[in-house]
Amino acid sequence: MLLVDSLLDDYTRSWTGVIADAFDTFKLKVAEGTKDRFDDSSNEYWAQYGQWTRSNSDRGDTIERRHTFFAERMHKLIQPQLKDPERIFGALEREIIYYRDKKRCQRPGCNSEVLWADGEIHHVNPHGKGGKTVVENGALVHKSCHPKGAKESEAFAEHWKAKAAKA
């Protein structure tokens, strides 16, 4: 649960489709290590995790070592992508996008003029899915036209990509 909590806070949701397989892989490696624990070349999953679940498993330092090993191996398996720490476009980026988009709302079907006070910058590739807060990933929209939800954001991104391909 601690791993998932840290992933939700700091990473895009790119890991959600692979975490179950990664967990199964981790458990398999622990099982293989447990089976081979008496061999001369016991694997790290036994030495660094499996044996720590057998004795003194309730001690704080043992729990911490076990969790650290688990988290490090899971990160390698799922390869999560860090969120861009900048979620809000700065004043300069907003102005560049405003004039680049010719003061027009980029929402499909709108294309009407946007007053500065009524404008917002939409992440074309959503921030929550790894979209960066950079001029190339921003589009001017009215506050009321700002896409809400995954379907609207996906439709907006498809429209934007098709528009960029024509240019």
C-alpha angle with apex 161: 160 to 163, nearest 5 degrees?
65
Q: Which two tokens stand for residue 121?
A: 């910058």
List Cβ<8 Å contacts ≥24 apart for 18-21. Answer: 18/77, 18/78, 19/74, 19/78
DSSP at 122: E
Distance from C-alpha of 152 to C-alpha of 7, rounded to nearest angstrom: 25
pLDDT tens, 120-145? Answer: 999 999 887 888 899 999 999 999 99
Identity at 35, one-letter amino acid code: K
Q: Do the strands 119-123 and 138-142 form a parallel or antiparallel pair, or are they unpaired?
A: antiparallel
- Domains of the chain, residue spans: 2-78, 91-166
User: DSSP states of 133-160 as a string?
Assistant: -SGGGEEEEEGGGS--HHHHHHHHHHHH
Would you say 124 and 131 are in contact if contact means Cβ atoms under 8 Å apart?
yes
Q: What is the full per-residue pLDDT of the chain (167 aa) written as tens digits?
A: 778 887 887 787 888 899 999 999 988 988 888 887 777 666 787 777 777 677 666 777 778 888 888 889 999 999 988 766 677 888 899 999 999 999 999 999 999 999 999 999 999 998 878 888 999 999 999 999 999 888 999 999 999 888 888 87
